C-alpha cells in the first residue's frame, strides 16, 4: 500500500506543480494578447483547467501526502523538520494557486504581478522538491 500511495502522491504533486506553473505562465502570455475574443477564450480554458484539474489533483496530493506522513509516523518523530518546512511551503503554494486563480479572472493585471506569482510558484516548488529529496534537517 505504501508504494501505491507514494506513486499516487508523486504523480499528483507533479500534476499540481505542472498545472500551476503552466497556468501562471499562460496568464503572463495572455497579457500580450490584444484581441478581446482571444483573451476571453484563453480565460475560459484557464478557468476550466483550474477548476477541473488543479483543485482535484491538489486534493489527491495533500491527502496522499498526509497518509504517507501518518503511516511513516513522520509528523511527531524528531528529525523531520524538513517535513514541517515542506508543509509550510505547501500552504504558500496553495495561496499562490488562489492568487493565480484571481489573476486568471483579472483583465487589468500588470505583467510584473503575473511574473512575480509565476516565479514564486517555481521557487516554492523547487524548494519543496529539494526538501523531499535531501531531507536536510
| Per-residue pLDDT tens digits for 40-63 | 999 999 999 999 999 999 999 999
Count helices and strands (H / E) in the chain: 5, 0
pTM: 0.88
Mean pLDDT of 93-103: 94
Alpha helices (runs of H) in the chain, residue ranges in sequence order: 2-30, 36-49, 55-71, 81-105, 111-134
| 135 closest CA partner among 66, 70, 69, 91 | 69
* pLDDT band at residue 18 under the 50/70/90 scheme: very high
Mean pLDDT of 70-83: 78
Amino acid at each position: 500500500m505504501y508504494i501505491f500511495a507514494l506513486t499516487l502522491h508523486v504523480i499528483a504533486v507533479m500534476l499540481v506543480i505542472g498545472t500551476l506553473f503552466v497556468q501562471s505562465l499562460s496568464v503572463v502570455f495572455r497579457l500580450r494578447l490584444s484581441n478581446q475574443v482571444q483573451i476571453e477564450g484563453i480565460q475560459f480554458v484557464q478557468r476550466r483547467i483550474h477548476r477541473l484539474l488543479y483543485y482535484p489533483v491538489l486534493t489527491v496530493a495533500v491527502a496522499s501526502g498526509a497518509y504517507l506522513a501518518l503511516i511513516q509516523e513522520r509528523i511527531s518523530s524528531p528529525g523531520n523538520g524538513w517535513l514541517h518546512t515542506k508543509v509550510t511551503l505547501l500552504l504558500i503554494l496553495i495561496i499562490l494557486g488562489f492568487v493565480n486563480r484571481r489573476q486568471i479572472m483579472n483583465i487589468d493585471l500588470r505583467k510584473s504581478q503575473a511574473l512575480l506569482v509565476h516565479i514564486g510558484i517555481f521557487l516554492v516548488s523547487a524548494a519543496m522538491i529539494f526538501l523531499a529529496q535531501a531531507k536536510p534537517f
